[in-house]
Amino acid sequence: MRALLRNPKFLFGAFVLLALVFVAAFAPWLAPHDPMAQSLLNQLLPPRWAKGGDPSFLLGTDTLGRDLLSRMIHGTRPALLVMIAGATLSGLAGVVLGMLAGFFGGWLDTLVSRTVDTFMSFPPMLLAIVLAAAMGPGLGTVVISVVLIGWTRFCRVVRGEVLALREQEFVTSARTIGVSRSRILFHELLPNLLPLVIVLLGLEMGRAIVVEAIMSFIGFSSSGLATWGSIIADARSYINQAWWAMTYPIVAIIVMVLGLNALGDGLRQATDPVLQR
Amino acid sequence: MSPAFLLRRLLLAVPTLFGVAVVVFVLLRIVPGDPIAMMVPGEATPEDIARLRESYGLDKSIPMQFVIYLDHLVRGDFGVSISLKQDVLTLVLGRLPATLELALVAITLSVTCGFTLALASTYWRGTWIESGVDAINSIALAIPEFLWAMLLILAFAVLMPLFPISGRIDPMRATAFATQFYLVESLVRGQFGLARELLGHLALPALALALPLIAVIARVLKSSLQEVMVQDYILLARIKGFSNLRILTREALPNALLPTITLTGVHFIFLVGGTVLVELIFAYPGIGNMLFGAASNRDLPLIQGVTLVFALLFILLNIAIELSYALVNPRLRH
Amino acid sequence: MILDIENLRVSINAKGTRTPVLRGAHLQLEQGKILGLVGESGGGKTMVCKAILGVLPESARIESGAIRFEGRDLLAMPARERRGLLGRSIAMILQNPMTALNPVFRIEDQMTDVLRLHAGLDRAQARARALEMLTAVHIREPERVLRHYPHELSGGMCQRVVISIAFSCSPRLIIADEPTTALDVTVQHQILRLIRELQRKTGTSVLFITHDLGVVAKICDSVSVIYAGRILESGPVERIFSSQHHPYTQALLDAAPRYDRPDTALHPVSPELREQLAREAEEFDRRVDREVAHA
Ligand SMILES: Nc1ncnc2c1ncn2[C@@H]1O[C@H](COP(=O)(O)OP(=O)(O)O)[C@@H](O)[C@H]1O
Ligand SMILES: [Mg+2]
């Protein structure tokens, strides 16, 4: 714990994550305007500090006169939702299937491994697009795409780890003294997998943010929401009049991705006994 | 690499392709929704709709539909696109060259830049050049291609307008080509003006695809070069009196290639997958963009066709990569 | 005097600490002779070779000294000119033949590249010369060996190839760093005889490194004994093997398997002697530090 608090990467990542959670939680109070409110009088205002900027629109407005700052602030909500739900669900699916496949082996392992291979033989975006075609746009589609793309990563790593752990003494001895399988799985194996899974979760959250941005950029997320991806998509269409509009979501996403990667890295550094020495 | 091995690899691809077909087919049918209803005009009678459904085989039970689909696939019949009303295979193959050219330019860019960076940072080890390359690498790696694409648009299309941000070529000039391999064709014919225009359009999408791979290649090649540089045979080469540059490029590089090729292979596959998104962002008319259109129209046969072609491409690439290992390592040749 | 090393001090800087590995070493090799450099593993023998060739590891630093090759100090020579000597005038036989050859090239390429660089031969001439050299190191079917990759050859064969590369440009000095240590005992004798034979034929001077005094007795004209980077004793082979010598040399003599008297027990170097030598090395380091501090 002490090591964690002294690890700059972890601190940076934790700060970024907490900031996101805070902004998302208090978005309606933090945002100066309604993110959807259009104002034909205030179209394409530059940011406040630029020439022609309006003090009440800190980051300027888009072609419909909507306040970009408010849209950015409200955009944290779908980002956070997809990040948490997507990463947790893919973690859950991947860990469960990976543990079962690694522990029981046999036909179950073959089935899971072949399925992983099949999923990995798609480009991830292709899978997401096919899914969107099937389900139609919406936040649920976005979350499920994150899961469809992400579960294989957990599954492969966890399966490999379980295969290695299974042969270790504490597991084989537990088996010989007749400890039940489910007990071995949940009490012996799971705690050993946890540090690894936490690091993977950190990485997956970063990826989920990007997938969310991409899906909303191409219009597969809910159209009634202000999302970072939709801000990028809108901004791209008027990029020659207001290039700055695109920079806010891009910078936000980059900071989030870097922060979440740093969080995972920091956690690993601080919890890995080998790295600590 | 024996023919028997190759055959075995190709046979192993069959279950994977089957899996892909199943996954896509099931995904597309788990959710209710009628693609036919979407495509017919408002005044169509229920009989018209029923007739259309029948002609696309959508009136049968889902397992039956799958069997029929497989049966057609085996004969090379990918079906007819609902939205474009043309043979799916023809459509996909017509767009595939554009995607292949994009991927090829991107991989060429990655390999050239990645190798240059790795060789430079090994040659000038311990200087600012090495630290600079390391810094570029970690930045390029940390940012996914979607964001690179956006940053490139900002940088090279708006702030410093050097390259176009959409399309493949001015449509007026597209008629000049006999094949769909515009770039290859213009180079072969010596029409360098056209090639320049094509490359200009390719520059940003290819760079967006290439940047993460450049970093991967540079990093892996650099670390294997450093491993190789301390080997005895490099010492012997130095004692033979060869110049540092020659030792690096002729003696060390061939030995450092294997891990790089393995990894480049794996990432090339990601890169090809990444074309879907990048084509969309840069409105580049390849199969990725076609897939997006098909998905928006719920054009089931076309979606299935593009996915299968992509999966097949992936599998063939994997095999090609394995073959290339044998070429760089004489020990694997037997 | 083809090679004259004087007061050579080299240290290794790793993680902020400076460890001396050569402590004022001095060596003299007469034209056309074989000088044995003997000492246990870790004594600094390989460091001497690398210092002569200018291929010390990056962490190593030459603190002082001179390495005169044919009267000219290599350490004072411009880097380009010094590299020009390598392969052409000075060649080396490495300790482990299995790792000394580049695994991705055929033997032919690895033999002809140096000939084309230094002797200015074209491809066909270089190949002819390579065949000639392989015959000279008693390789049967040289044509076939040229086509092979290193991993297809045995250790002894690889070492013959390495030796033929070393001799192929008719260098004036050859450094052989424990050329037989990594080989089977039966092969060791053949390789020793081969080096001796080629040396006689070409008149090349050889710095022959080994940890085995028995080997020294067989092929060297003179010998220097090294321990912890210090040369403890130097002289003609006959003298070292006859009378007055350093206790460490005596210990090495006792430790060496006696081919003439295989029944005698081996006497390892005694702990007391080791301690005394370590004290002397420390004393040397202190003296150097004092001198550096005064200067
Ligand atoms: N690359 C290196 N880095 C650090 N220390 C080294 C390196 N090479 C050799 N040494 C040290 O230098 C000393 C002399 O080594 P070496 O010349 O290889 O001995 P020898 O060849 O007599 O066995 C040893 O103590 C060894 O640990
Ligand atoms: Mg040695």
Q: Assess C59–B contact: CB distance below 8 Å, yes or no.
A: no
Cross-chain residue pair A122–B311, CB shorter than 8 Å: yes
Q: What is the pLDDT of residue B236?
A: 93
Ligand 1 in reach of C59 Cβ (< 6 A): yes
Q: How far apart, in whole angstroms, are the C-alpha atoms of residue B140 and residue B219?
A: 11
| This prediction's pTM | 0.81
Q: Assess A133–B contact: CB distance below 8 Å, yes or no.
A: yes
What is the residue range of B124's domain? 96-287
Q: What is the pLDDT of residue A128?
A: 84
Cross-chain residue pair A122–B20, CB shorter than 8 Å: yes
Taking alpha carbons only, the member of B114, B92, B121, B119 closest to residue B271 is: B114
Looking at this predicted complex, what is its ipTM? 0.85
Query: What does the DSSP assignment read for B34-92?
Result: -HHHHHS-TT--HHHHHHHHHHTTTTS-HHHHHHHHHHHHHTT---B-TTT-SBHHHHH
Whether B331 shows a pLDDT value over 70: the answer reads: no
Ranked by mean pLDDT, which of A71-80, C184-193, C257-266 comes out on top? Answer: A71-80
C94 alpha carbon to ligand 2 midpoint, in Å?
A: 9
Position with higher pLDDT, B205 vs B16: B205
Residues A33 and A70: beta-carbon distance below 8 Å = yes
Residue of B nearest to A213 (CA): B146
Instruction: Tell me what percent of the residues of chain C surpass a pLDDT of 70.
Output: 94
pLDDT confidence band for C258 (50 / 70 / 90) = low
Q: What is the pLDDT of residue A276?
A: 46
Residue of B nearest to C162 (CA): B236
**Which distant-in-sequence residues (6+ apart) come within 8 Å of A124 by Cβ?**
A149, A211, B273
Position with higher pLDDT, C286 vs C262: C286
What confidence tens digit (pLDDT) does each residue in B119-177 have?
A: 999 999 888 999 999 998 888 888 888 899 999 998 887 788 888 888 888 777 777 78
Average pLDDT score over chain B: 84
**CA of A164, closest CA in chain B: separation in Å?**
24
* CATH number of the domain enclosing C265: 3.40.50.300
Taking alpha carbons only, the member of A208, A213, A276, A211 closest to residue A246 is: A213
Residues B251 and B237: beta-carbon distance below 8 Å = yes
Q: How far separated are the first and last CA of chain A, in Å rounded?
A: 15
Cross-chain residue pair C102–B233, CB shorter than 8 Å: yes
Count structural domains, chain B.
Answer: 1
Sort C144 into a burial class: Cβ within 10 Å, 0-12 / 13-18 / 19+.
Answer: exposed
Average pLDDT over residues C167-173: 92
Residue of B nearest to C175 (CA): B239
Pairing of β C34-38 and β C60-69: unpaired
Nearest to C104 among B232, B237, B255 (CB): B255
Per the document, the length of chain B is 334
Confirm whether C28 is domain-assigned. Answer: yes
Whether C29 shows a pLDDT value over 90: the answer reads: yes
Sort A142 into a burial class: Cβ within 10 Å, 0-12 / 13-18 / 19+.
Answer: buried
Residues C175 and C93: beta-carbon distance below 8 Å = yes
Average pLDDT over residues C257-282: 67
Residue of B nearest to C149 (CA): B330
C60 alpha carbon to ligand 1 midpoint, in Å?
A: 10
pLDDT confidence band for A69 (50 / 70 / 90) = confident
What confidence tens digit (pLDDT) does each residue in A8-49 have?
A: 888 998 999 999 999 988 888 887 878 777 777 777 777 777
Find chain A residues with C-beta within 8 A of B272's C-beta: 123
| Strand order from edge to edge, sheet including C222-227 | C90-93, C173-177, C205-210, C34-38, C222-227, C230-236
Average pLDDT over residues C107-111: 94
Angstrom distances, CA of residue B200 to CA of B106, B193, B319: 13, 11, 32
Residues A261 and A202: beta-carbon distance below 8 Å = yes
- C42: three-class secondary structure by DSSP: coil
Q: How far apart, in whole angstroms, are the C-alpha atoms of residue B148 and residue B214?
A: 13
Q: How far apart, in whole angstroms, are the C-alpha atoms of residue A202 and residue A106?
A: 31
Q: What is the pLDDT of residue A277?
A: 41
The first and second tokens of residue A47, run together, are 């940011």
The amino acid sitting at B201 is H
Ordered by where they begin, the domains of chain A are 2-20+68-276 (1.10.3720.10)
Position with higher pLDDT, B290 vs A179: B290
Position with higher pLDDT, C85 vs A51: C85
Find chain C residues with C-beta within 8 A of B331's C-beta: 103, 149, 151
Q: What is the pLDDT of residue B334?
A: 45
**Which distant-in-sequence residues (6+ apart) come within 8 Å of C80 by Cβ?**
none
What is the residue range of C80's domain? 3-89+171-294
**CA of A263, closest CA in chain B: separation in Å?**
13
Confirm whether B324 is domain-assigned. Answer: no
Find chain B residues with C-beta within 8 A of A239's C-beta: 153-154, 157-158
The first and second tokens of residue A237, run together, are 């269409």
Average pLDDT over residues A62-78: 85
Confirm whether B42 is domain-assigned. Answer: no
Angstrom distances, CA of residue B283 to CA of A137, A233, B124, B169, B287: 20, 13, 41, 11, 11
CA C213 from chain centre, in angstroms, equals: 14
Q: How far apart, in whole angstroms, are the C-alpha atoms of residue B241 and residue B53?
A: 77
Q: What is the pLDDT of residue C262?
A: 47
Cross-chain residue pair A214–B146, CB shorter than 8 Å: yes
What confidence tens digit (pLDDT) does each residue in A118-177 have?
A: 787 677 788 888 888 778 888 998 999 999 889 999 999 999 888 888 878 777 777 778
Confirm whether B296 is domain-assigned. Answer: no
Ligand 1 in reach of C211 Cβ (< 6 A): no
Find chain B residues with C-beta within 8 A of C91's C-beta: 239
Q: Which atom of ligand 1 is nearest to the CA of C44?
A: 17
List residues bridging with C223 in a β-sheet: C36, C235
Q: What is the pLDDT of residue C257?
A: 59
Residues A269 and A7: beta-carbon distance below 8 Å = yes
**Which distant-in-sequence residues (6+ apart) come within 8 Å of C277 by Cβ?**
C227, C228, C232, C248
Count structural domains, chain C.
Answer: 1
Q: How far apart, in whole angstroms, are the C-alpha atoms of residue C275 and residue A58?
A: 77
Q: How far apart, in whole angstroms, are the C-alpha atoms of residue B105 and residue A167?
A: 47
Nearest to A134 among B31, B273, B311 (CB): B31
Angstrom distances, CA of residue A244 to CA of A76, B145, B152: 19, 20, 14
What confidence tens digit (pLDDT) does each residue in A207-254 have?
A: 899 999 999 998 888 777 888 988 898 888 888 888 888 899 999 999
pLDDT confidence band for C90 (50 / 70 / 90) = very high
Whether B333 shows a pLDDT value over 60: the answer reads: no
Confirm whether B185 is domain-assigned. Answer: yes
Confirm whether B260 is domain-assigned. Answer: yes
Angstrom distances, CA of residue A29 to CA of A32, A37, A70: 8, 16, 10
C61 alpha carbon to ligand 1 midpoint, in Å?
A: 13
Q: What is the pLDDT of residue B142?
A: 83
Confirm whether C270 is domain-assigned. Answer: yes
**Which distant-in-sequence residues (6+ apart) come within 8 Å of C218 by Cβ?**
C192, C196
Residues A215 and A142: beta-carbon distance below 8 Å = yes
Ligand whose nearest atom lies closest to the CA of C50: 1
The amino acid sitting at B252 is A
Whether C261 shows a pLDDT value over 60: the answer reads: no
| Residue nearest to ligand 1 atom 5, measured at CA | C12
C167 alpha carbon to ligand 1 midpoint, in Å?
A: 26
pLDDT confidence band for C207 (50 / 70 / 90) = very high
pLDDT confidence band for A96 (50 / 70 / 90) = very high
CA A79 from chain centre, in angstroms, equals: 8
Find chain B residues with C-beta within 8 A of A117's C-beta: 16, 19
Q: Assess A231–B contact: CB distance below 8 Å, yes or no.
A: no
Q: Rounded to a whole number, what is the largest CA-CA distance in chain B?
A: 87
Q: How far apart, in whole angstroms, are the C-alpha atoms of residue C53 and residue C34?
A: 18
Q: How far apart, in whole angstroms, are the C-alpha atoms of residue A96 and residue A147?
A: 13
Across A176-180, C9-13, C129-133, least confident range: A176-180
Residues C36 and C237: beta-carbon distance below 8 Å = yes
Ranked by mean pLDDT, which of A192-196, A198-202, A231-235, C204-208 comes out on top? Answer: C204-208
Residues A256 and B144: beta-carbon distance below 8 Å = no
Whether C265 shows a pLDDT value over 90: the answer reads: no
Q: How far apart, in whole angstroms, are the C-alpha atoms of residue B40 and residue B37?
A: 6
**CA of B235, closest CA in chain C: separation in Å?**
7
Q: Helices marked H in B75-191 — which ranges?
A: 88-123, 128-142, 145-153, 171-174, 182-189
* CATH number of the domain enclosing B229: 1.10.3720.10
Cross-chain residue pair B236–C100, CB shorter than 8 Å: yes
What confidence tens digit (pLDDT) does each residue in B62-109 have?
A: 788 888 888 888 888 888 888 888 899 999 999 999 999 999 999 999
Sort C202 into a burial class: Cβ within 10 Å, 0-12 / 13-18 / 19+.
Answer: middle
Q: How far apart, in whole angstroms, are the C-alpha atoms of residue B179 and residue B177?
A: 6
Q: How far apart, in whole angstroms, are the C-alpha atoms of residue C38 and residue A93?
A: 65
Ligand whose nearest atom lies closest to the CA of C178: 2
Ligand 1 in reach of C12 Cβ (< 6 A): yes
pLDDT confidence band for B284 (50 / 70 / 90) = very high
